[in-house]
Amino acid sequence: MHPEALRNWVRHAEVDDGLRPGITTDDQARITELEREVRELRRANEILKTSAAFSQPRSSTARSGSP
């Protein structure tokens, strides 16, 4: 095992145990999950906005195609 890998592993354990400041493993997993959810919701909103633009009724002042 590489010494730096072991050092990082110990640092993460110390953060998780509250002995060192930082973001815990559980908090990081939750943040990652929330970021994924935000991306999905933004994508869904864009899809809804696009579909709403296509489904809006035309105004009465719009040309009907005949002179």
Specify the length of the chain in residues.
67
Contacts 24+ apart (CB under 8 A), 58-67: none
DSSP-assigned letters across all residues of 14-44: HHHTTSS-S--HHHHHHHHHHHHHHHHHHHH
Which residue, chain included where needed, has tokens 């296509």?
54
Per-chain mean pLDDT for the chain: 89
pLDDT in tens, 17-28: 999 999 999 999
pLDDT in tens, 26-57: 999 999 999 999 999 999 999 999 998 888 77
pLDDT of 56: 78
Q: Domain extents for the chain? A: 23-48
pLDDT greater than 60 at residue 65: no
